[in-house]
Amino acid sequence: MDWVISSQDEATGRISETRYTTEASFRAALEDLFSDIRKRVLAAELPNGRSLDEHAARALVGAPHGSSWE
């Protein structure tokens, strides 16, 4: 089962979906996305099918809330 992140690049408007096979790589990718002000996490899906919005995904990895998108 995969962890999935849907994100959007603010500069281009491009939306992408990336799959991860380990929880560690999924968390690392979320942390990287949250540290890049040009990117926005639209949704994250856990292997159990649970879908997280940006705020819930930030809470999952302990990233501070607030971005240029809010």
Going from N- to C-terminal start, the domains of the chain cover 3-61
Q: Is the pLDDT of residue 22 over 90?
A: yes
Work out the pLDDT band at 66, boundaries 50, 70, 90: low
Distance between CA atoms of 13 and 15, rounded to whole angstroms? 6
Distance between CA atoms of 13 and 61, rounded to whole angstroms? 25
Distance between CA atoms of 43 and 56, rounded to whole angstroms? 9
Q: What is the pTM of this model?
A: 0.86
Distance between CA atoms of 32 and 51, rounded to whole angstroms? 19
Work out the pLDDT band at 42, boundaries 50, 70, 90: very high
